[in-house]
Amino acid sequence: MSDEQTIELSLEQIDNYEFRVRFDGTSLASLQTDESSPLGRDAGPNPTRLLAASVANCLAASLLFSLRKFKNDPGKLSAHARATLVRNEHGRLRVERIAVELGMSSTAASMQHLERLLAQFEDFCVVTESVRQGIVVEVSVRDGEGTLLHPSSGG
């Protein structure tokens, strides 16, 4: 028995660089994407924004899962992602790194087993750990008082 899973989606061009993304085999709503101007019309997020959103969302969900596993209530979580693009040796733009800052509205003092769960939550994030094989992903976690609880090495 294999643990292999597949996720399928389909893209359909709407106009120029606008695409409709359908998530095959699900009842999920479709998503409209577009390239940034001047190439596109900014009618939806571009692939780079979706990549950054995917990393941030996966990390936030992994942190929430880890916190709840130890019966912690982090309050509302937030995430801010910043993707840095640079030109490679051929002059093509590439995502060099993604920095994600996670926040929770509760304080660190109200959490149980915080050190342990912060040491391992990133490992549960399918997207981040997959992306890290080619893109540096930096992650930080702050509590409701803004205290830095977890800086990662990004590697």
Q: What are 113-146's pLDDT values in tens digits?
A: 999 999 999 999 999 999 998 877 888 999 999 9
Structure tokens at 130: 């997959």
pTM above 0.75, yes or no: yes
Q: What is the reported pLDDT for 155?
A: 54
91 three-class SS: coil
Separation of alpha carbons 80 and 45, rounded Å: 16
Residue ranges of the chain whose pLDDT lies below 50? none
Among 52, 54, 140, 51, which Cα is nearest to 104's? 140
- Coil vs helix vs strand at 122: helix
Output the CATH code of domain 47-151: 3.30.300.20
Q: How far, in Å, CA of 142 to CA of 71, rounded?
A: 19
**pLDDT score for 137:** 80
Torsion of CA 108, 114, 118, 121, to 10 degrees: -110
Parallel, antiparallel, or unpaired for β 93-104 and 77-87?
antiparallel
Q: Where are the domains of the chain?
A: 1-45, 47-151
